Structure 1
């Protein structure tokens, strides 16, 4: 779970406050159970990192730092899509807790959680269509397909010890980086920025998203339940093999036997976590995240210098500091 010092977003804090209010209004469904589910999601208090990035890209691509109402709406749509994906994720992973509180399907039931996720995806599509910007619609709607693709790929590769780092990066793109990349590009499109600028910000978002996912996966191994808001080693339990483990397998092939029996013995998970911590796996995963951070910074290096660009650069580096 990401804790971001508030002052990093001070220039858009007012916009983020408006966003919170609007999100509550936007998910006001006719059916009380769906509304309760949606409320439950938004009251869990995510860090709003994705909409913050959209607003910063908006400022960085407008000559006077002005943010259009369409930029604000895109930021809201991005957060709704992200939240919808988390609800479905939790159902698929049978996750009981997220951000330290019970997940939707645990509070209500699986059926309601699936419907709540569908409802949020549908709401986001409706608001997206109402932006009346076909290019943005095409760019963002691709993300919803990518989420589904990522889920299916993850489901098919559970406990698959032959997974390569390339497979892992591709899966991470579908599950995390696609949304950040597309919403950065969408914000630049709304600003009527050049194709080159749109693509630069797409690459910024893509590499930032990949680094973000890799760091998340490291934290899943090395953090406590308290700081994660969910049990450590959740990925392993679900058969989701991530960068630290894939790198460790090269060094400690004995882990293969734990994976092949799906960590069924009581101590399998703890032993595996211990082995990963004693290996080069964490460091190699950090190095991989660092490469993507560098790529994200390189992507926007030639964009005009302004406060918003500085904040986006700071944010890139901040992601790595989550490990300290």
Structure 2
């Protein structure tokens, strides 16, 4: 487990149980389909999304204990996320994920598509069995958002006309939507009022956007060992993220390289160097910090309240990944 921060100690047991349950929840009759679906769960990952569910649960019921429905929601959230990764890797033709070979690289594309579909279906089954219609509606919308995000991303490959607002919208669909929706669903399961649900949703939305921006920064500056996939993967696939968008300003060489779709040897190396030597990384970090500040503001903390302290620490943890 990646989390060593003290504020994750109260949920460490829940995360350990989640790791065990994720593999037992996958009950495909076909052994190849089971192996494909189970592959990424065994590889681990940050588990940020279920961790946030547990922390929101503890904050909204004001207890270190969580409800069984919260625990199942955390599992559903990670299943949906993993399903989206399998499909993402097919579309982007990624060879590795979480430091291991991608599912379609081990098996084949057809098996990987079926494995992703199977996980989405499995998550829908468990979601329906939560017995809370509002939570079901909110989480179900996420799967629609994933598709919208993928369509936007693939239509905008190597497109230099995309704006920061286009990038933020796509980032919401692909990342922040699931985190925001799971935060609201957690608050609903805790039977909180609508005001609290809205605040928690906005917290998740801005944390999710910050997380995606930081992830895009790491894709530029990180090593393959740390990322679990080759650095610059987004740019190789024509996905122009925040650091590149900022770096493109008054940089004709970078613009020319991207316009020709990195078609010449060493283009990716040159492009990454141009982005690293610009203000793009710093501006992207600043934008992530703005969203983290918005997330903190969404909690509307009272000076004498520490109910949401751990959720504030999540914001600090996300930003620390690039400091």
Where does residue 168 of structure 1 map in the other structure? 167
How do 1:309-320 residues align onto structure 2 when only pairs under 5 Å count?
309-320=308-319
**Structure 1 stretch 268-277 or stretch 62-71: which is displaced more?**
62-71
The equivalent of 1:68 in structure 2 is: 67
Deviation at 1:7, TM superposition (A): 3.2
Q: 2:240 is matched with which residue? A: 241
Matched, 1:91 2:90: yes
Aligned length: 322
Distance 2:5 2:126 in 1: 28
Aligned 8 A contact 1:244 1:285 in 2: yes
SS in structure 1 of the partner of residue 170 of structure 2: helix
Deviation at 1:65, TM superposition (A): 4.0
- Whether the 8 Å CA contact 1:150–1:174 is kept in 2: the answer is yes
The DSSP-based 3-state class of the residue aligned with 1:265 is coil
5+ unaligned residues in a row in structure 1: which ranges?
Answer: none
Q: What is the rounded CA distance, in whole Å, between the counterparts of 2:66 and 2:35 in structure 1?
A: 31
Shift of 1:66: 3.5
Residues 175-190 of structure 1 mapped to structure 2, 5 A cutoff = 175-190=174-189
CA–CA separation in structure 1 for the residues paired with 2:279 and 2:5: 33
For structure 2, which runs of at least 5 residues remain unmatched after alignment?
none
* Aligned residue runs from structure 1 range 1-150, under 5 A: 3-150=2-149
1:4 CA drift (Å) = 3.0
8 A contact 1:101–1:229 mirrored in 2: yes
Give the TM-score of the pair, scaled to structure 2: 0.97
Match of residue 253 from structure 1: 252
The question of whether the paired residues in 2 share the 8 Å contact of 1:251 and 1:279 is answered with no
> Is residue 211 of structure 1 aligned with residue 210 of structure 2?
yes
Q: Secondary structure at the match of 2:136?
A: helix
In structure 2, what is the Cα distance between the partners aligned to 1:116 and 1:173? Answer: 24
**Aligned-pair CA distance for 1:52:** 0.8
Report the counterpart of residue 278 of structure 2 in structure 1.
279
1:305 is matched with which residue? Answer: 305
**More displaced, 66-75 or 163-172?**
66-75
User: For the residues of structure 2 that align with 1:317 and 1:63, how far apart are their CA atoms?
Assistant: 21
CA contact (8 A) 2:50 2:77 kept: yes
Worse-matched range after superposition: 6-15 or 147-156: 6-15
Indicate conservation of the 8 Å contact 1:27/1:35, yes or no. Answer: yes
Q: Deviations over 1:49-74 (max 9, x none)?
A: 11010011011001344411111110
Question: Per the alignment, in what secondary structure is the counterpart of residue 45 of structure 2?
Answer: coil
Looking at structure 1, the residues matched to 219 and 78 of structure 2 have their Cα atoms a distance apart, in angstroms, of 22
User: TM-score, with normalisation over the residues of structure 1?
Assistant: 0.97
- Contact conserved, 2:145 with 2:173, CA < 8 A, in 1? yes
Question: C-alpha distance in 2, partners of 1:247/1:293?
Answer: 19
How far residue 306 of structure 1 moved from its aligned partner, in angstroms, is 3.7
Q: 1:188 aligns to what SS in structure 2? A: helix
Residues 91-137 of structure 1: CA deviation (Å, up to 9, x unaligned): 00000011111000000000000000000000000100111111001
Cα distance in 1 between the residues matched to 2:132 and 2:231 = 42
* 1:181–1:203 CA contact under 8 A, matched in 2: yes
For the aligned residues, what is the CA RMSD?
Answer: 1.4
